[in-house]
Amino acid sequence: MGALLGIGIRAMFANQAALQAVGQNIANANTPGYSRQSVVLTTPEGQFTGSGYFGKGVSVLTVERSHNEFLTKEAASSKATAFMDQTRAASLGQLEKLFPPGESGIGYAAGQFLNAMVDVASRPSDPSSRQVVLGRATELASRFSAAGQQLVDLQAGVVSDLKANVAVVNQITKQIAVANDQVARANGNGHAPNDLLDQRDQLISQLSQYIQVTTLPASDGTVGVFMGGGQRLVLGANSQELKITPDPYDGKRAQVSIDESNGPRALDASVLTGGSISALVQYQDIDLQDARNLLGQMAAAMATRVNDQQALGLDLSTTPSKGGPIFGIGSPRSLPAATNARNADGSFAASVKLSITDASQLQASSYKLSVDPAGTGALQLVRLSDGLTRTVANGDTVDGFKIDLADAAPGAGDSFLLEPVAQAAVDMKRVLDRTTGIAAASPLTASASVNNKGTATVDSMYAVNSKVDPSKAPMSIAFGTPAAGSSQVPYTLTLNDGSVYTGDWTSGQPIGNQPGATPPIDLGFELKLNGVPKAGDTITLDATKFTTANNGNAKAFLNIQTETFVGRRTLPDGSIALGSTINDAYSSAMSEIGSRVQGSNYLATVSTSVAANAEATRAGQAGVNLDEEASRLMQFQQGYQAAAKVLQAAQTIFDELLKLASR
């Protein structure tokens, strides 16, 4: 009789426990990270009698959760990748707005500025035409500086976002450490604390949104949480904090560091392999820096080219003089590492100064200058855009800029970040205020003799480099008779000091600047003709006396729009590779940023889909299915009712036995 009662009681308890687990599942069907729980039932060892073994009912062994370690890790890992791609796509979307197409772009503003010189060329002394040029110059400089300032603001936003994300990471790792401690304490009773384990897994999943981690289980039920490269974040009940520290070269940039007993230690960017923090660091170190250099390269090349041409002309001052700069740009800078050797007063023992020698050869890149780690004492210069490494010395010129060691030579361990163009755009402005300061006149004036018999007339006359020398005027050009069957007209150019140059003129060929002639002619000016001269025709070049009527240099400005002066390179054989026009350079920058945006959007779409599928797969095994739980609810409810019937039958039999015993 007692056995029957015991079986009924155990059956009721078992079904009640199962119903409780089902109720817990239903209650948490929509709880993020919850894993379905189920009661594990087992049959106790039977009781031996002379008639055989009789069962003792059912026992509740434990409550287990439906959990797959592989699927859980896969879901967390794919989430880290998805959040990294989403963050980078959103960040690049902001960067793309700095390079708008059409009339809002820098390329259009540059074209408008150069086109404004057309009216000056038509009316050299007209103040209204000159004022339009200054207005266009202001607009061009403003667009460069506005874009540069927006890059500064984006950088500040990245630092702010990194600090906010790191604060969340530190909070989550502390919670994981607390959960580890609670799990270790509960693990001693022999049963898994399912709800605590779910909470810990959910915290790790949340952590993956910010940084990709790996986990390693321990024998006491705790898990170690590690970043890429084996850097621990949580070990047992202890957690390590991340910190945002200033970049060793530029205090406005940030780096992620781990807080250790002897102070924060910077983490290499390669350790950050997923999550929004990794995306922000990559965006800061690569995308923003590339955009800053692309913008600076265009600003430096454009401003320098315009200023150089301006300096070759004459303005409308009372005493005409060479034109002053129209644009001012930010200076190149050299940033020493915070770890470089210092003097007793705290100043750096070594310093490096940069100066621009040829703005047309400036590259859209930063550079790292350091002492050869092999111990040779030589200086190594790494172009960060492509990794090109060169050995340099004091006074060397590389990619259009010169390196000067101002003080002592850098010592072992010293390094510098060189930024020839990074600040050029943000500090660009118009520095010419006087309309009379626009140097529209050429230093030389060309005129054809009235006695000429050919159709040759002067099309344009302007200086092309600093070798132009009005003191050598007047100069005369006398044309000879072409050879039979030849279109080349020989000419003789005579300076006032008696120097004589000879060459051959063909249609479109400038006179005065013919590097390919034998011998080469480089007098610093270009005279272009319309029509065809005949033998005996002459052209006279005089120093310009009336700058109000001369438009030679204004015409030279018009050529800048089609000149390839952005990003030229010196090839190994010493020749110069052609660069890009200002419009082509801007279009290339737009394409570069646009392709990154397109690629990041595609990756974000793919990785988000992969993460959703991984989470769906995990939830398909660990999540709660309400239809399934409803059927289980009916199953265990019926089991509970059946167990109650067993107790009722045992009670009836027991009552009958008592009645029989009382007679």
Query: Domain residues of the chain, as ranges?
Result: 2-66+623-662, 333-420, 443-543
Q: Can you tell me the distance from the alpha carbon of 11 to that of 15, in angstroms, rounded to the nearest whole number?
A: 6
Q: Can you tell me the distance from the alpha carbon of 164 to that of 282, in angstroms, rounded to the nearest whole number?
A: 17
Q: Which of 362, 364, 365 is nearest to 400 (CA)?
A: 362
- The one-letter amino acid code at 657 reads L
* Contact between 194 and 35 (Cβ < 8 Å): yes
**Cα distance from N-terminal residue to C-terminal residue, the chain:** 20
pLDDT at 663: 63
Q: Can you tell me the distance from the alpha carbon of 587 to that of 580, in angstroms, rounded to the nearest whole number?
A: 10
Between 69-96 and 127-186, two packed helices, what is the crossing angle to 10 degrees?
170
pLDDT at 285: 93
* Contact between 109 and 631 (Cβ < 8 Å): no
pLDDT at 377: 75
pLDDT at 160: 96
Q: Can you tell me the distance from the alpha carbon of 323 to that of 271, in angstroms, rounded to the nearest whole number?
A: 54
SS3 414: coil
Predicted TM-score (pTM) above 0.75 = yes
pLDDT at 410: 86
Residue numbers in the chain where pLDDT is lower than 70: 1-2, 48, 375, 663
- The one-letter amino acid code at 626 reads L
* 394 Cβ contact partners less than 8 Å away, ≥ 6 residues apart: 403, 404, 405, 409
pLDDT at 508: 83
Q: Can you tell me the distance from the alpha carbon of 526 to that of 519, in angstroms, rounded to the nearest whole number?
A: 17
Q: Can you tell me the distance from the alpha carbon of 207 to that of 226, in angstroms, rounded to the nearest whole number?
A: 11
SS3 54: strand
- The one-letter amino acid code at 631 reads S
pLDDT at 521: 85
* Contact between 144 and 425 (Cβ < 8 Å): yes
User: Order of strands across the sheet with 379-383?
Assistant: 333-336, 415-419, 367-371, 379-383, 388-392
Q: Identify how many contiguous H helices and E strands the chain contains and give both numbers.
A: 11, 31
* Contact between 68 and 618 (Cβ < 8 Å): yes
pLDDT at 2: 60
